[in-house]
Chain A
């Protein structure tokens, strides 16, 4: 039994099931992300945990206590809202102190804890400013400090980085993880940004149309996406449809009459399979030296790596190659693609197609 558990939690708006049968168990101190496109029910799930949305069914327990129908003010959870929802008429210190004041913490103790928390988020110098005098990143940190100062059992983050510009977002991502580590608070973050979810979570929960489709550690999610949707949503992915040729205990994947090196799976002979191959697992070689030959259709320089689209016998394949400083093959040039057999993942086609529909 986890520290925070959701049992067949659901929310129905009229005919629409915003969240359906969500089961999740979060361990103490864990950082879990709810990842999905907008409208997948991740925010509704978070709001049910926060107590801002009444569940239509199911149960939420916190540390063994049933909190399904408890008022938000009694749950004691820390929440960082997407808009930060800072109190504009209070200074940074007053914002952070608000939760302690509500808990009737004595003035001296309150001041000490506010100071500590502001130091943790590197805002000690700005304690007397008003929110409107702060930058986006600073406001975000005030929101985090305000949520954490009450020592909540669980911290809920609703798209905490979506209002920041790209560079700041990346910085805050690691900052968030640092703060979470040093406080050790169980954290649930809602995000639609896969890079954000992968980089700072212990586990990622992917949601699609109100349902959870995969719960896994970030690297497992990346390497072994359960559905076609997840593989396209998390990182870039080349998907090829093929046929499995069984050969005793072993077998090979075949696309357009071409045998591709792949992992070994236990499928029936002639089964339709979906093959997935990450662009960065592919190596470009001189023509004739790889698995299949092709021609570079276009090439993009993305700073730390190059991205190629290569026209081959098995379709248009995206390939990414780290930038080593030399200029690689250009558009129109012939190349050959090669990869380690374990990099080509094989899954049953019907399951993947079903989930994508």
Chain B
């Protein structure tokens, strides 16, 4: 093999992936950025004029800011609940013997095989005003509660969808843990709980970190669940963008919102990653 071909090989190998990424991610993203600076008129549509007005509108209007704030709040809450449920779940999973471990791993990953839309409809049937939850509450004589089209419904469904993305990274980092480390802590006088808190938890923090990033990112950009369980009035960022494009037909404004959400998401995730990872890397190496 000649020298020049050897040098070219890596480039040739990455080119299909790179082209796909360029064509389907980078290019549309650039077009979206360009679109967001176009002027828009309700009667004539998109005009070929440069303007910053869309950004100004979004960042100064309480309506939009409220939706951004809700998006971040619900995504953070979902992440927190996923961590609280997912970390113990992963720990229990890692302590299981083999036939059970495989079965339960499948149970955890299984829901990913069902479309998010189908699962969202499932939840809307459960949480609706005449759904299973309210029927049960009524049968117990507790009256009904409004769940569907509330933030609670969105968070419940998001947690359900996102849990595997938390369990799997935590489980992976638990796999790397020397099982004797816990026994060592017990032998030194630590209770089971103390051993978990002082010895196991710090070592799975990197898994917890990557799990949190995945869950937060996916939750903040979730579309189907807030769309179906939040209803027309309870919007999140992704449903807002959809409405601007499809109902208002104000594409430039929709593009501006999409870019702002993307940047906010990036900044939050990078900052979080830096903060936690720097600390974990220092000690875990």
Contact = CB atoms under 8 A, between A and B. Distances in A.
Interface of A: 50-52, 71-73, 75-79, 81-83, 85-90, 98-99, 102-103, 130, 132-133, 146-147, 150
A258 to B, nearest CB: 55
B10 interface: no
Q: Would you call the interface of chain B mostly helix, strand, loop, or mixed?
A: helix
B284 A89 contact: yes
Contact of A98 (B180, B188, B203): B188
Given A85-B178, A87-B199, A132-B285, A102 B187 contact: no
Given A89-B283, A130-B283, A81 B183 contact: yes
B185 interface: yes
Interface residues of B, number: 20
B184 interface: yes
Contacts of B191: 73
A116 to B, nearest CB: 17
15 contacts: A52-B183, A79-B187, A85-B178, A85-B181, A86-B184, A87-B185, A88-B284, A89-B202, A89-B203, A98-B188, A98-B190, A99-B189, A133-B285, A146-B188, A147-B187
Closest 8 CB pairs of A and B: A99-B188, A102-B189, A85-B180, A85-B184, A89-B283, A72-B186, A89-B202, A79-B187
A51 B185 CA distance: 13
A81 B184 contact: yes
A147 B183 CA distance: 12
Contact of A102 (B180, B190, B202, B203): B190
A73 B187 contact: yes
Interface in B79-112: none
A99 B189 CA distance: 6
B51 interface: no
Given A88-B284, A89-B283, A130-B285, A81 B180 contact: yes
Given A75-B187, A83-B178, A88-B284, 11 more contacts: A72-B187, A85-B180, A85-B181, A86-B184, A87-B199, A89-B202, A89-B284, A98-B185, A102-B190, A102-B194, A146-B188
Nearest to B183: A52
Contacts of B199: 87
Contacts, number: 71
Contacts of A89: 202-203, 283-284
B187 A50 contact: yes
Contact of A150 (B180, B185, B189, B285): B189
A93 to B, nearest CB: 13
B188 A150 contact: yes
B99 to A, nearest CB: 15
Given A89-B203, A98-B185, A98-B188, A83 B284 contact: no
Nearest to B184: A85
Contact of A85 (B183, B284, B285): B183
Interface in B176-221: 178, 180-181, 183-191, 194, 198-199, 202-203
Nearest to B177: A88
Nearest to A79: B187
B203 to A, nearest CB: 6
Given A88-B203, A89-B202, A89-B203, A73 B183 contact: no
A103 B181 CA distance: 18
A82 B180 CA distance: 9
**Candidate in B180, B194, B202 with the most chain A CB atoms within 10 angstroms:** B180
A234 to B, nearest CB: 29
A79 B285 contact: no
A298 B180 CA distance: 46
Interface string B149-183: 00000000000000000000000000000101101
A142 to B, nearest CB: 11
Nearest to B191: A73
A73 B190 contact: yes
A83 B188 CA distance: 16
Contacts of A147: 187
B186 A73 contact: yes
Contacts of A103: 189
